[in-house]
Amino acid sequence: MSEKTPQALWYVVHTYSGYENKVKDNLEKAAENQHMQHLIQEVQVPIEEVVEIRDGKRKVKQHKTFPGYVLVKMVITSDSWYVVRNTRGVTGFVGPESKPVPLSEEEVEHMLSRRPQAEACKMVVGEEVRITEGPLVNFTGTVESIDIEHGKMQVKVKMFLGRELQVEIELSQAEKL
């Protein structure tokens, strides 16, 4: 008797907002309690790391990439569908008429990537800034480049008599004009 085991695919489950981690825990426990680990194989809450600059301090925080959604790697059977669909906090599968539609590998890879994002750095290249700390305090300049990972930026500072000087400063050492 050699039956081919169906391949587990990734599906998106809609949850109540704020219940993503609880749903993840509940699904993992339900799969274990009902001996369905071979059907419900993995549950993920997509998150991203965001670099925030607040009060001159650089902090990396984790934010849910898709609030209200959880990714589940599973083999769809009537039993596994029932367990997921009837887990507390789950409102249904994402798909037409709540019928599960599997994600492509590219979609899964994109959703689960955890690269730092620059959204918390309020400055952009080409913007005018004022230096707030260091030897060039109160000088103004134009942002030439931003390096979020290292928390630094290149600024072309306007000096005396129209001269410009390119300097590297911390992100926390400048503010928008």
The answer as to whether 152 is a domain residue is: yes
How many CB atoms are located within 10 Å of the residue 12 CB?
A: 20
Rounded to a whole number, what is the distance in angstroms from the first to the last CA of the chain?
Answer: 74
The answer as to whether 49 is a domain residue is: yes
- CA dist 162 and 160 (Å) reads 6
Q: Tell how strand 140-147 and strand 128-131 pair up.
A: antiparallel
**Is the pTM here over 0.85, yes or no?**
no
Picking from 44, 47, 42, the residue whose alpha carbon sits closest to that of residue 115 is 47
Phi, psi of 87 (to 5 degrees): -80, 135
The boundaries of the domain holding residue 128 are 121-176
Proportion of the chain above pLDDT 70, given as a percent: 88
The answer as to whether 36 is a domain residue is: yes
The answer as to whether 1 is a domain residue is: no
- CA dist 95 and 103 (Å) reads 10
DSSP label at residue 17? T
pLDDT, tens digit (0-9, with 9 covering 90-100), for 68-103: 999 999 999 999 999 999 999 999 999 888 789 999
Whether residues 87 and 46 share a domain: the answer is yes
Tell which of 118, 146, 167 closes a domain. Answer: 118
- What's 168's domain CATH number? 2.30.30.30
- What's 62's domain CATH number? 3.30.70.940
Yes or no: say if 72 and 10 are a contact pair by the CB < 8 Å rule: yes
Whether residues 16 and 101 share a domain: the answer is yes
pLDDT, tens digit (0-9, with 9 covering 90-100), for 96-149: 887 899 999 888 888 877 554 544 567 788 889 998 888 889 999 999 988 877
DSSP per-residue codes, 36-74? -TTTEEEEE--EEEEEEEETTEEEEEEEESSTTEEEEEE
Residue tagged 């930026």 (tokens): 153
How many CB atoms are located within 10 Å of the residue 75 CB?
A: 17
